[in-house]
Structure 1
Amino acid sequence: MEWIGETFTSDVGWTHLERLVDIGNRMTGSPGEREALTATRDALDAVGARNAHVDDFEIQGWIRGTSRIDTPDGEADCIALPRSPAATVSGPLVDCGDGLPEDFEDADLDGAIALVSSTVPDHYDRFIHRREKYYRAVEAGATGFVFRNHTPGCLAPTGSVGTDDAPVGPIPAVGVSREVGLRLARRHDGERVSLSVDCETPTAESGVVRADIGPETDRAVYLTSHVDAHDIAEGAVDNGAGTATVLEVTRALLARETPLDRRVRIVCFGAEEVGLRGSKREADLVDPDAVQAVVNCDGVCRGRTLQYYTHGFDELGAAVDRVADRFGHPVSLRPTQHPHSDHWPFVARGVPAILVSSDDGDRGRGWGHTRADTLDKLERRTLREAAILLTGLVADLAAADRIPRRDPADVAADLEREDLAAGMRATGDWPF
């Protein structure tokens, strides 16, 4: 078990995390994303992974310009949401509260600019994604969208809009801080305001990093993360830490005394933050039967307790429990669906997949998707502990018998039962 001690003193993952955050802007299609993909390829090669390479693909690019909200009192601070179109619109500002489906039904948004919170109330039984709120506003006739952070600290949130079929959204969209949003609602609800976004939307290039370790078996465990991040911050939690953890797990798997029973394919995606474009492409390219399971790391170091979404695959939950018992470490196990990270295109095809994040007791993204997603929020200890647990999990899944696939129709039924289907249809993300 020497690998455990080595992992708890290793700086391989943390050093790569520092490398990623020091790049700065890792927005999809940017030079920074390309630098991060190349650096991750080189880091995997350095720890001994085979055939580390970057597979490029074309993507809709988006380059931030200026944005503004003009009110009767003057200008309100804001930032454009990626893949917002360049446009200037005006209309009455309508406060849609938390942006629940009924909030849009009750509001008169025809020709209006919708102001919507980034959270949902505690009594509501599911999280509502930003893009669902955006497209419900579009459907209700809004001409502009203002996304208000619910977390204090004068931090405007970012996050993309757009769909696979129409990558640039139909109406301009901006994020504002909690403080600005509440002030807009208090002073200007019902008053005419204008919203302006300036941006460029060139054709761009993203990529996927791939490498292999373990024996050359036909079926592989996929260990994944995403490399890209939003342009306004370092992207430390989302998702530099996930990619750094994947690297540390790769190193630890190679250091274990017991050889792997099955190949592990490391895949670090670009273009996650703009509709999971990298992982959707990967899932289309791969034979589902060639995937034993997917372990996707996204937000793993926000807290010390790992949170596992297992999407109705009982065998995955059992593997999580086995590893947690072996290490005597608490975990948060959620058998429900979570259609908002790079594991999801595989789950939609019936492939066993786990989303690994952190249970820190908060609802929502925390510092994520704001300027405050920076390295100082993270600890080496947390990354090392996560890497030890995930090394155990990947090795366990690699040694397991073939895990049964799920019928995609059953996955769709779960989404209906968990009240996620309507929102996915609203955003054009329903794959069934």
Structure 2
Amino acid sequence: MTDWIGDTFTSDVGWTHLEALVDIGTRMAGSDGEREALERTRDALSDAGARDARIEPFDVQGWTRGDSAIRRIASDEGNTVGSTPATVASGANQCIALPRSPAAEASGEFVDLGYGVPEDFADADLDGEVVMVSSDSPDSIDRFVHRREKYYRAVEAGAAAFVFANHVEGTLPPTGSVGTADAPLGEIPAVGVSKETGARLARRYEGEELAVAVDCATSEAESGTVVADIGPDTDEYLIVSSHVDAHDLAEGAMDNGAGTATLVEIACALAAREDDLDTRVRFAGFGSEEVGLVGSSRFAAGVNPEHVKAVVNVDSNVFGRTLRFDHHGFDALEAAAERVVDRFDHPVSLGGELVPHSDHWPFVERGIPGYMVSGETAGRGRGWGHTGADTLDKLESRNLREQAILLTELVVELADETVTTERRDREAIASTLEAEGKATGMKITGDWPF
């Protein structure tokens, strides 16, 4: 029967949920807005036909953004940090604090380190300096160097402050957290600036004394994970997940309202196909992904790996038509995706390398088969993700519906009792990270679990 395809393609349930999420306002980890988003997602899964929908709470380090600025220290005028030097970048369009930056002000000679890849740090004397790096990575390096790796390389080099410059045009300062699981707050003040502001800083202030100031507040807060089930009550189950939180400077439409809306649409479609499921499907809407995968890490620590058949994690889709399935080298996941692609003759992109970011990772690092499902992007980086431009107007309901159809079929395919998935040894996961050049960065950021 294919009635479910027509029903999904004409459904407005997922899109309506997406609109509700982006209209909440901030969904920052631990905020009232995140709590409202979790509650709305719980209710939407229940209305879709999932059973026992609930929120499982957990504590999190709360962080609230204040003002931030980059200031020039004009020593010839007798100015010091304490006497309010001339401001050269401030305000939401020029300079924003990176979440979990400490509230602090620090100064030093300004250094533009370009891409901020490992060799850039190896060749520079950065002790006491204000370091700026790009959000991009060059084609000459065989991996994407994450923001947090660049930040902790700066910390390790003794930098006084960190400036993260977007490589995308449009006066869009980027956000993204610093900090580690063991130390949620970073060690030096960190800000994001637009490509245009970064270019101006590099042109005018290279080698001059600059101060970076961050005002923010921290608190004890509560986040949570939405959990609900569809299908038979089997010991083994699939996890279909997304993250519900978003950064506070935008609507979080793509990242990750889209993934959570897709989760709800999949639940509607699976409720109509419940008889086709041989394995229980557990939906998980994680909180606090944007501040270090907190929700999924706590959830993954509590599961029996032998009971989780696979994880289908949806993060940052819908803005384009083509889905990307990073299957992390699990042969059964690659084969299942290929079968669904052949069945629907729909464009997708497959990747076998390990992706140690987003909510699939706490499961994959334990050897549990898992996908990272996202939208295909051209080049490296997030585009306008993690900026104030992540808004609903850039997404299309057609893409959400088509992708929900593909992912529903994929979940049913994986739930088939004839499909088996093999776990990978944790040592093999670690060896693959070493071979792919990702282990060094993970060790620097405190993300190395092996």
TM-score range, shorter chain: over 0.9
Q: How does 1:339-358 map to 2 (within 5 A)?
A: 339-358=356-375
SS in 1 for 2:168: coil
Name which of 419, 423, 431 aligns with 1:413.
431
Name which of 130, 138, 141 aligns with 1:121.
138
Q: Normalised by the size of structure 2, how large is the TM-score?
A: 0.95
Match of 2:70 in 1: 69
Q: How does 1:155-194 map to 2 (within 5 A)?
A: 155-194=172-211
Name which of 404, 412, 424 aligns with 2:442.
424
Shift of 1:107: 1.4
* Cα displacement string for residues 159-193 of structure 1 (whole angstroms, at most 9, x for unaligned residues): 00000110000000000000000110111111100
* Cα displacement string for residues 259-309 of structure 1 (whole angstroms, at most 9, x for unaligned residues): 211100000000000000000000101111110000000012121111011
Q: How does 1:16-415 map to 2 (within 5 A)?
A: 16-71=17-72, 74-77=87-90, 78-256=95-273, 258-399=275-416, 400-415=418-433
CA distance in 2 between partners of 1:131 and 1:328 (Å): 38
CA distance in 2 between partners of 1:377 and 1:364 (Å): 17
SS in 2 for 1:201: strand
Inter-CA distance 332–428: structure 2 relative to 1 (3 Å threshold): same
CA distance in 1 between partners of 2:87 and 2:366 (Å): 50
* Cα displacement string for residues 320-374 of structure 1 (whole angstroms, at most 9, x for unaligned residues): 0000000011210001100010000000100000000011323211111000000
Inter-CA distance 294–257: structure 2 relative to 1 (3 Å threshold): closer
CA distance in 1 between partners of 2:262 and 2:51 (Å): 18
Inter-CA distance 380–191: structure 2 relative to 1 (3 Å threshold): same
CA distance in 2 between partners of 1:257 and 1:35 (Å): 29
* Cα displacement string for residues 23-53 of structure 1 (whole angstroms, at most 9, x for unaligned residues): 0100000000000000000001111100000
Shift of 1:258: 4.5
Equivalent position amino acid for 1:18 in 2: E
Structure 1: gaps (5+ residues): none
CA distance in 2 between partners of 1:116 and 1:269 (Å): 30
Match of 1:8 in 2: 9
CA distance in 2 between partners of 1:281 and 1:307 (Å): 26
Equivalent position amino acid for 2:176 in 1: G
CA distance in 1 between partners of 2:64 and 2:376 (Å): 33
Equivalent position amino acid for 1:98 in 2: Y
Shift of 1:123: 2.5
Shift of 1:257: 7.5
CA distance in 1 between partners of 2:386 and 2:270 (Å): 31
Cα contact 1:137–1:145 (8 A) shared by 2: yes
SS in 2 for 1:62: strand
Structure 2: gaps (5+ residues): 75-85
Cα contact 2:320–2:375 (8 A) shared by 1: yes
Cα contact 1:226–1:239 (8 A) shared by 2: yes
CA distance in 2 between partners of 1:190 and 1:397 (Å): 57
* Cα displacement string for residues 226-282 of structure 1 (whole angstroms, at most 9, x for unaligned residues): 000000000000000000001101101111375211100000000000000000000
CA distance in 1 between partners of 2:441 and 2:19 (Å): 36
CA distance in 2 between partners of 1:27 and 1:37 (Å): 12
Cα contact 1:2–1:256 (8 A) shared by 2: no
CA distance in 1 between partners of 2:32 and 2:354 (Å): 34
Cα contact 1:94–1:107 (8 A) shared by 2: no
Cα contact 2:245–2:286 (8 A) shared by 1: yes
SS in 1 for 2:184: coil
Deviating runs (4+, > 3 A) in structure 1? Answer: none
* Cα displacement string for residues 380-426 of structure 1 (whole angstroms, at most 9, x for unaligned residues): 00000100000010000111433110001001111011100000001
Shift of 1:75: 2.4
SS in 2 for 1:75: strand
Cα contact 1:114–1:144 (8 A) shared by 2: yes
Equivalent position amino acid for 2:440 in 1: A
CA distance in 2 between partners of 1:410 and 1:349 (Å): 10
CA distance in 2 between partners of 1:264 and 1:226 (Å): 17
Equivalent position amino acid for 2:445 in 1: T
